[in-house]
Chains A and B, each alone.
Chain A
Amino acid sequence: MNARYEAVIGVECHVELKTKTKMFCGCVNAFGGEPNTKICPVCLGMPGALPVPNAQAIELIIAAGLAFGAEIPAFSKFDRKNYFYPDMPKDYQISQYDMPLAIGGTVKYWLEDGTMRECRLTRIHLEEDTGKSTHAGSGDGRIAGSSYSLVDFNRAGVPLMECVSEPELRSGAEAVAYLESLRRTLLALGVSDVKMEEGSLRCDANVSIRPAGSAELGTKTEIKNMNSFRSVERAIESERARQIEILSNGGRIVQETRGWDEVNGVTHSMRSKEEAHDYRYFPEPDLVPLEPSRAAVERLRAALPVLPAQRFERYTSQLGIGSKQATQLVETPSLGAYFDRVVACSNNAQQASNFVLGDLSRLANETGVAVAESAVSAEHLAELIGLVDAKRINSKIAKELLARMWDGAGSPAAIVEREGLAQTTDPGAIAAFVEEVLSAHPSVVAEFKAGKSNVMGFLVGQVMKASRGKADPALVNELVRTKLSS
């Protein structure tokens, strides 16, 4: 990277909302399905059909706005964005132009090493999605050379959130970290599935460069067609390098839209600013203005869950959990909430994190049951951690217990009590086991005395076995060593 320049990056996301029905009609909102099976006169833009707004979609947008600390204006409205496109049934999109549902706000995100960053939002607004075109007869599905096109309107009218960031990101890695945080937050809010591979999250990036330290903005390009977070990072870095090379050679950046070519790892020009549409926005006359009541907004605010960024900060700064583990814990909202409940009744957050991300997540993967939905209650896991911390059981027993708890065995303390599994920490009792083992294996003892110190592990194992696993392993080690050296 060239240190003389810095990149200025803004990200624009489109997120399909997870509502029961589409934005302006009663059709079911679900991914996939046979083409043109989730349609009606309204989402087909039939002559005479009218839109009726989906209250749930409006609430989800307001909740997202509140989660990012955006202002929810008392007055908002829908507008028509006019342009011709075959997969847009009305040849206009109902969107929001100058009075979005949410203004401003901040996305808190963190880098891989745990450093917290912030990126301000310009706005969040609500609009409807388009259908999907398939181009046929050309062999490669592209429009060039195709003899006809087919349109699937199942997606037409699905509620879409547009979320625009300020140009405050400085690298592809920051853009991805921002997107990750946005994704985790929307998931925690239940706003969307946020799956890039299913198209429920789509994003474009605006990229410009300027001399490091300059306050002015350079000419920007808009990058489209990025299909994964990985491609977002690569596309931004490639575009940054391209622009730096042009400027370094005394060239000039052209304001344009560029497409990301995943295969060749470059962006290519799609259309210039001169070809930009005049969308002729005007207020949607088929809908009345949106005037969310203060009471409704406050109800939504009160119902906000703990957000991933809040969790992450608490885990790393208060609980001392490492960035990688903390990130894993906030990744799934239900897992983070489960972990919080464990920590609420245990003093050992690190151990809780180890169990949740280790044994429990492994069991969850094996059985297909989410940790939070498993038979292991947070209280019982805390109890187990307590038993380990108090050296009442050792880690081997703990592992076994956890597997049984997963199968519904209930309270670990009760099992320990019932089955006498408590760790033996009485040196006298352990010494007796040691005595027994050493006298049973005189040849091994002889080997040790002849200098083969690695046989000690075998002897320790035999003592643990004799104690049925209950002996405190540290004490066993110590006593075996003392006995052998005596």
Chain B
Amino acid sequence: MEYIEKSAAQIAHDVRTRVRSAAEVTDATLAHVESVEGAVGAYLTVLADSARAHAARVDERVRNGEKLALAGVPVAVKDNMCLDGSRTTCGSKILERWIAPYTATAVARMLEAGAVPIGKANCDEFAMGSSCENSALGVTRNPYDLTRVPGGSSGGSAAAVAAYEAALGMGSDTGGSIREPGAFCNLVGFKPTYGRISRYGLIAFASSLDQIGPLARTVEDAALAYDAMAGFDPMDATTVDRPVEAAAGALREDLRGLRVGMVREFDSAALGAALDALYRAAYRDLERLGAELVEVSLPTAAYGVATYYLIAPAECSSNLARFDGVRYGLRVEGDDVRSMYDRTRAAGFGPEVKRRILIGTHALSSGYYDAYYVRAQKARTLIAGDFERAFAQCDLIACPAASCPAFEFGAKSDPYSMYLMDYYTIPMALAGLPALSVPCGWTTPEGGRVPMPVGLQLCAPLFAEKLLLGAARAYEAATGHALARRPELESVRA
């Protein structure tokens, strides 16, 4: 096992105790990135010089006695988060050459904790998609089968971590964009409670849903990253001003005393025999760890996708208005300002982004607002109410993280089948709940060459991140599914 395959916790420990320097870890990571990037394509920009400069600073801080939780940990930053002086594209032509003039709070907190930014990771354009195929700037492949997608929209961050091109990934989850690529790439993908981590500097897709979170190879690593990023930010009025309980040091050994809810409406039998067997085994493992399984009902969760595809596009239609060619990003000149807008946006946005802007503009327009936007908000309230009632009967909810394992490129070419990928992750996003995916086994998809990872989703009540991570840690330790296979990188090394 190469050093770069170590966990973030191990790397940080080694750098803190000066067993390794951050500079060595960074150099090793950059060398590995160079050898596998051609095949994986996780990054849109590799920040080699800046990473070395950050690493030097970390080593200096360590020498000065600072106890950095993420000392020297290589991190992949999703390219919808601003990092001062770095190109920040959102996977879009419209921002292809935009250099961020400031740093996102979550990124700044990771750097403050000692993390070293290796690069800006690919994503679906403006985080709209579930496979990374909507990126206008590059193709990212799943390290476990390069003919398959890494998931999305945080697919670049997921692929980077899975391929050891970083020990931690920063992703953003609007309807499942951390959890689904986490499941596709054999990772822990964790979306905290809405308002836990500042969105300042995260280029907005749907403001009321977007939430930053980590992608990691272990639950402990995810918890370390969460601890570094979480907490009130005076620059984001939607962050919650309440204490964050450190999750990294409080991981559970078992699930004794916990009631885990099985969602009646999310019967895994619908996913086919192979996945059904995997999920049933996972639920049995939870039980074996001491959890009491109880049945709960989320009767309105089935409306999640429909609700989400009104609210998220409505917000995106407004959030993306600023990309008009006036002050930054792409500009295509026109005869007057109106034609400049039209030409810039026509050339700068890809088809999925345009589709959502159209849907959202329509949903907000006069005469349709009540029928679409207001109704969707009411449905959202009902869905959140369902979860509240469910959590009166259980401490955690367990369900699938995605309806299938990573699929081949082009397999979901019609938008609606792609939207359904987030069927199990959207309801939690609408309710603002903390949820994660954790590896729960392997299955060879129909027509596939090798087994692909599958993710179990765990969801907790608002602000119960510590409980959620603790339980996931217990499950991970008892099952060890993630360790069963390695990504297929040997054959692709340049």
Residues of chain A having any CB pair with chain B under 8 Å = 41, 44-53, 80, 82, 84, 86, 89-92, 149, 151, 278, 280-282, 285-288
Contacts and interface: CB of A to CB of B under 8 A. Distances in A.
Contacts of A285: 206-208, 238, 315
Interface string B297-325: 00000000000000000110110011110
Contact of A282 (B88, B337, B369): B369
A48 B81 contact: yes
B266 interface: no
29 contacts: A41-B101, A44-B327, A47-B98, A47-B203, A48-B80, A48-B100, A48-B199, A48-B202, A50-B199, A50-B200, A50-B236, A52-B237, A80-B318, A82-B317, A84-B338, A86-B337, A90-B322, A91-B321, A92-B321, A149-B337, A151-B326, A280-B361, A280-B369, A281-B364, A282-B318, A282-B364, A285-B208, A286-B204, A286-B237
Given A84-B341, A90-B321, A278 B238 contact: no
Contact of B324 (A50, A84, A280, A282): A84
A50 B237 CA distance: 8
A51 B207 CA distance: 12
A52 B238 CA distance: 9
A85 to B, nearest CB: 9
A84 B321 contact: yes
A173 B172 CA distance: 58
A286 B207 CA distance: 6
Nearest to A82: B318
Contacts, number: 98
Given A46-B102, A280-B318, A282-B369, A82 B364 contact: yes
Contacts of A84: 321, 324, 338, 341
Interface of chain A, helix or strand or loop or mixed? loop
Interface string B159-192: 0000000000000000000000000000000000
B365 A280 contact: yes
A84 B361 CA distance: 13
A288 B238 contact: yes
B108 to A, nearest CB: 12
B366 interface: yes
Interface in B126-141: none
A125 to B, nearest CB: 18
A198 B209 CA distance: 41
B472 interface: no
Given A82-B364, A89-B322, A47 B236 contact: no
Contact of A46 (B101, B237, B317, B361): B101
A48 B82 contact: yes
A293 to B, nearest CB: 16
A251 B348 CA distance: 49
Nearest to B377: A283
B238 A287 contact: yes
Contacts of A90: 321-322
A53 B322 contact: no
Contacts of B366: 278, 280
A71 B211 CA distance: 37
B373 interface: yes
A48 B104 contact: yes
Contact of A288 (B200, B237, B317): B237
Contacts of B338: 84
A80 B319 CA distance: 10
Contacts of B199: 48, 50
Interface string B355-367: 0000001001110
B321 A49 contact: no
A285 B88 CA distance: 23
Given A50-B199, A282-B369, A285-B207, A86 B322 contact: no
B249 interface: no
Interface string B84-96: 0000101000010
Contact of B322 (A45, A149, A288): A45
B156 interface: no
Given A82-B317, A286-B204, 13 more contacts: A46-B102, A47-B100, A48-B100, A48-B200, A48-B201, A52-B236, A86-B326, A86-B337, A89-B322, A91-B324, A282-B315, A282-B369, A285-B208
Contact of A287 (B95, B235, B237, B364): B237
Nearest to B210: A285
Contacts of A281: 364
Contacts of A89: 322, 327
Contacts of A287: 237-238
A5 B238 CA distance: 53
A278 B337 contact: no
Contacts of A82: 317-318, 321, 364
B323 to A, nearest CB: 8
A45 B204 CA distance: 11
Given A48-B104, A48-B204, A278-B366, A286 B314 contact: no
B237 to A, nearest CB: 5
Nearest to B360: A280
Contacts of B318: 80, 82, 92, 280, 282
A366 B237 CA distance: 50
A91 B341 CA distance: 11
Contacts of B100: 47-48
Contacts of A52: 234-237
A285 B206 CA distance: 8
A395 to B, nearest CB: 62
Contacts of A47: 82, 88, 90, 95, 98, 100, 203-204, 322-323, 328
Question: Which of A51, A52, A53 has the most chain B CB atoms closer than 10 A to its own CB?
Answer: A52
A272 B327 CA distance: 30
Nearest to A42: B235
A407 to B, nearest CB: 51
A89 B319 CA distance: 11
Contacts of B364: 82, 280-282
Contacts of A46: 101-102, 328
A44 B102 CA distance: 12
Nearest to B202: A48
B148 to A, nearest CB: 31
B248 to A, nearest CB: 27
A51 B338 CA distance: 27
B373 A282 contact: yes
Contacts of B324: 84, 86, 91
Nearest to A279: B366
Nearest to B311: A285
A50 to B, nearest CB: 5
A26 B397 CA distance: 42
Nearest to B209: A285
B97 to A, nearest CB: 13
B23 to A, nearest CB: 30
Contacts of B337: 86, 149
